């Protein structure tokens, strides 16, 4: 059944309808209506199994977008983070260097890695690595995704660490009966196999997924080989009151790295890989295991619990520049991270006007980071390290809790006060000396929040929210840990405010406008892998988001979004003796746009066109080195159903063959006075043909 998960009540299978379930659905009805007031659904979301009592993200009363499977499962992408670029206001930072390929961000937080301000969840499980990067996003593939949800703003109390500007949640397929396959071949000798299987009977569901992708890459020395394997096993009691299950996934990616180019090298041959990079490569393993429990204790009380284990091993050999002196530009970086956590939520319906929702989480991280530096060679020889820059073992523990109330004093008004608090403990051992140092002592980090919505009718609602989130420094030694000479850091408190309008003037037109601002104290640009930290001081992010979706006719859909954003330093520190006040935070474009159309010629043939654009941005903290990184790109596709079982699609990426690059300012590895921008070019036009099987 294809329905909007957020515009209707949860679906319960007919053979499990019991009186207390019907009661619970009635009690949750105000929340499902609430979800309409600030949430926009892109495409259809498939719900195959009964839901649990936990509240949907739409109850947060902030700008929420949900992108359904029909906009995801048939897309050809090299990396799953590219899928999220279809959604409004999403900035994609596209390194495209082996396994370190890129990530999405929004609300004027960039994806450079210095300020990782977006929380990632996969099937409700926290999936950021220690420094906040989203490497676990690669573990899921399009055919296994049910929907992707983006929650923007500072007023979501459910999550603490990395939830600075909002969160991205990826939900994979659970339950149902299906046998789906997808075989793709395309440009750069790329081939991919995805297979998904679901079986459900007698309260027991099992879902399996396998994917393998090989590509020679669009640049020299950019071969990539990856595979992913996963399984989900769930049991639901006859009454539907209890649902419990296990999810397990594993992933491996072996990839060559083509390296960055200077402007002159890019001009000479934009797809070359220099001789110095011939030994650069990455080998990454990731696993996720999680246990899930949802229990409807009474018609008014529901409990949800998740226990999880995430593990990542990454071995990266990287050469940044051709500068011969010193060893800094040539490094081998090894990460070993193991994260274990427990999440709990209790939802209590006190009456028709009040719902209380709260919970707590605990996460323990046991990590190790090693970084070796090597002498210059062409190609760089990684056999004998010249220096040990890092050999650190470190723990990182987080305990957090929240409570929120959904209050409905009148039919057209809803108020959601909330409060969250987090505390962190840990220590780092520098293995070269054996000495141990404690984590910065932040105390309890308190985060009050409140949201209000007024909905005079189902076609119009206005909502506002205010809330606080936080940033702390991460990494394996100073400034995250109090090694000798390290200053004490306070958490950077982000205070955000948003005012939005969601409108539906006609049945086939839906849109939203939101104005927002987010102020941070003592923001830090921190890149733990390189040991680079810069105090930015007080920052202000602000912007306006606009989006509209329309069905001009039954066969024709159009959508458009545009976000204006800026991130400025409004107080604090200097760089090289120059004040940063008034400067824009680097690598943050002002404009991000999305547009698309879909035309269904008949039941068997469908065409789509997707465009995305972003403006150029400053690449250095002083805004003195010019603007780079702007682009306008279009992807198109044709989808034809041959039979009830077989279908084919043709997709063309960058169909107008535009040149574009990811650009960063290298002031780490070149001698002072010769700093320069470094380029990683995007791909030319590429085409992919897929055979789809659905049974």
The model carries a pTM of: 0.92
Q: What does the pLDDT average to over 409-436?
A: 96
Q: What are phi and psi of 36, to 5 degrees?
A: -70, -20
- What is the per-residue pLDDT for 18? 40
- pLDDT for the residue numbered 24: 37
Q: Is residue 9 scored above 80 in pLDDT?
A: no
Chain centre to alpha carbon of residue 523 = 21
Average pLDDT, the chain: 90
Using one digit for the tens of pLDDT, what is the confidence trace for 271-293?
999 999 999 999 999 999 999 99
What percent of the chain is modeled with pLDDT above 70? Answer: 92
Q: What CATH number does the domain containing 481 carry?
A: 2.40.170.20
- What local confidence, expressed as pLDDT, does residue 142 receive? 96
- pLDDT beyond 70 at 120: yes
Structural domain containing residue 310: 2-694
SS3 state at 93: strand
Q: How confident is the model at residue 57 (pLDDT cuts 50, 70, 90)?
A: low
Q: For 34-43, 106-115, 474-483, 602-611, which range has the lowest pLDDT when averaged over its residues? A: 34-43
What is the pLDDT confidence band of residue 131, given thresholds at 50, 70 and 90? very high
Report the alpha-carbon distance of residue 592 to residue 304 in Å, rounded: 37
pLDDT band of residue 576 (cuts 50, 70, 90) is low
Q: What is the domain count for the chain?
A: 1
3-state secondary structure 123-188: CCEECCCCCCCCHHHHHCCHHHEEEEEEEECCCCCCCCCCCCCEEEEEEECCCCCEEEEEEEEEHH
Q: CA 621, CA 578: separation in Å to the nearest integer?
A: 10
Mean pLDDT of 670-679: 85
Q: What is the pLDDT of residues 294-334, one digit of tens each?
A: 999 999 999 999 999 999 999 999 998 887 777 788 999 99
The DSSP symbol for 43 reads S
Predicted pLDDT at 558? 94
pLDDT surpassing 50 at residue 20: no
**In terms of pLDDT, which residue wins out, 42 or 431?**
431
* pLDDT at residue 25 is higher than 60: no
- pLDDT-derived band of residue 26, with 50, 70 and 90 as boundaries? very low
Q: What is the DSSP string of 454-522?
A: EEEETTEEEEEEEEEEEE---SSSTTTB--TTPPP---EEEEEEEEEEEEEEETTEEEEEEEEEEEEEE
In the DSSP assignment, the letter for residue 88 is T
pLDDT of 177 higher than 60: yes
216 closest CA partner among 286, 268, 273: 273
* pLDDT of residue 6 exceeding 50: no
Q: What is the pLDDT of residues 624-661, one digit of tens each?
A: 999 999 999 999 999 999 999 999 999 999 999 999 99
Which element (helix H / strand E) includes 415?
strand 413-425
Q: What is the pLDDT of residue 30?
A: 36
Q: With 50 as the cut, is the pLDDT of residue 49 above it?
A: no
pLDDT higher than 70, residue 575: no
Structure-token match 């284990």, residue found: 309
pLDDT band with cut points at 50, 70 and 90 for residue 258: very high
Residue 44, pLDDT above cutoff 60: no
Report pLDDT for 19: 34
Q: What confidence category does residue 364 fall into, taking pLDDT thresholds of 50, 70 and 90? A: very high
């Amino acid at each position: 059944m294809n329905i909007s998960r957020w515009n209707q009540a949860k679906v319960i299978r007919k053979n499990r309808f019991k009186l207390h379930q019907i009661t619970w659905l009635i009690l949750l009805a105000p929340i499902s209506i609430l979800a309409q007031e600030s949430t926009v659904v892109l495409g259809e979301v498939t719900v195959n199994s009964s839901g649990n009592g936990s509240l949907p993200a739409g109850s947060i009363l902030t700008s929420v977008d949900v992108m359904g499977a029909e906009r995801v499962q048939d897309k050809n992408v090299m990396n799953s983070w590219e899928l999220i670029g279809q959604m409004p206001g999403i900035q994609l930072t596209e390194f495209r260097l082996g396994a370190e390929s890129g990530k999405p961000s929004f609300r004027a937080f960039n994806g450079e890695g210095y300020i990782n301000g977006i929380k990632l969840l996969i099937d409700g499980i926290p999936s950021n690595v220690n420094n906040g990067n989203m490497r676990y996003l690669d573990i899921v593939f399009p055919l296994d995704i049910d929907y992707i949800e983006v929650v923007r703003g500072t007023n979501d109390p459910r999550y603490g660490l990395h939830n600075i500007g909002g969160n991205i949640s990826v939900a994979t397929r659970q339950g149902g009966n299906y046998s789906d396959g997808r075989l793709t071949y395309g440009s750069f000798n790329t081939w991919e196999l995805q297979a998904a299987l679901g079986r459900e009977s007698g309260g027991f569901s099992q879902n399996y997924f396998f994917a393998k992708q090989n590509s020679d890459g669009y640049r020299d020395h950019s071969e990539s080989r990856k595979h992913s394997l996963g399984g989900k096993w769930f049991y639901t009691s006859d009454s539907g009151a209890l649902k419990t299950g296990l999810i397990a996934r594993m992933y491996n990616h072996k990839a060559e790295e083509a390296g960055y180019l200077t402007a002159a090298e890019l001009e000479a041959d934009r797809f070359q890989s220099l001789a110095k990079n011939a030994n650069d490569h990455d080998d990454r393993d990731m696993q996720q295991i999680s246990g899930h429990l949802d229990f409807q204790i009474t018609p008014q009380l529901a409990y949800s619990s998740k226990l999880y284990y995430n593990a990542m091993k990454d071995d990266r050999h990287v050469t940044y520049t051709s500068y011969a002196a010193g060893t800094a530009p040539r490094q081998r970086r090894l990460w070993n991270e193991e994260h274990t956590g427990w999440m709990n939520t209790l939802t209590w319906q006190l009456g028709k006007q009040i719902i209380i929702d709260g919970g707590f989480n605990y996460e323990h991280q046991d990590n190790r980071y090693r970084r070796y530096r090597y002498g210059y060679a062409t190609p760089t020889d990684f056999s004998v390290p010249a220096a040990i820059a890092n050999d650190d073992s470190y723990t990182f523990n987080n305990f957090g809790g929240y409570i929120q109330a959904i209050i409905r004093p009148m039919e057209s008004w809803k108020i959601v006060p909330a409060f969250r608090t987090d505390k962190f403990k840990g220590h780092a051992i520098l293995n070269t000396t054996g000495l141990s140092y404690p984590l910065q002592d932040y105390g309890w980090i308190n985060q009050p929040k409140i949201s209000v919505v007024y909905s005079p009718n189902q076609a119009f609602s206005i909502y506002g929210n205010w809330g606080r989130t936080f940033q702390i420094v991460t990494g394996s030694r100073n400034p995250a840990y109090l090694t000798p000479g390290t200053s004490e850091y306070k958490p950077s408190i982000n205070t955000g405010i948003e005012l939005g309008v969601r409108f539906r003037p006609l049945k086939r037109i839906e849109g939203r406008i939101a104005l927002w601002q987010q102020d941070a104290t003592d923001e830090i640009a921190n890149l733990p892998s390189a040991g680079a930290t810069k105090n930015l001081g007080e920052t202000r992010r602000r912007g306006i988001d606009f989006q509209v979706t329309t069905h001009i006719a039954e066969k024709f859909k159009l959508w458009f979004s545009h976000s204006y954003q800026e991130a400025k330093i409004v107080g604090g520190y200097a760089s090289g003796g120059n004040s940063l006040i008034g400067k824009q935070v680097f690598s943050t474009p002002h404009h991000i746009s999305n547009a698309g159309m879909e035309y269904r010629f008949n039941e068997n043939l469908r065409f789509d066109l997707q465009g995305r654009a972003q403006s150029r941005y400053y690449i250095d903290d002083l805004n003195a080195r010019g603007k780079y990184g702007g682009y306008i790109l279009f992807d198109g596709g044709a989808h034809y159903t041959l039979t009830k079982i077989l279908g084919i699609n043709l997709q063309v990426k960058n169909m107008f063959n535009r040149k574009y690059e990811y650009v960063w300012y290298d002031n780490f590895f070149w001698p002072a006075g010769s700093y320069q921008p470094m380029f990683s070019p995007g791909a030319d036009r590429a085409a992919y043909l897929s055979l789809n099987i659905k049974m």
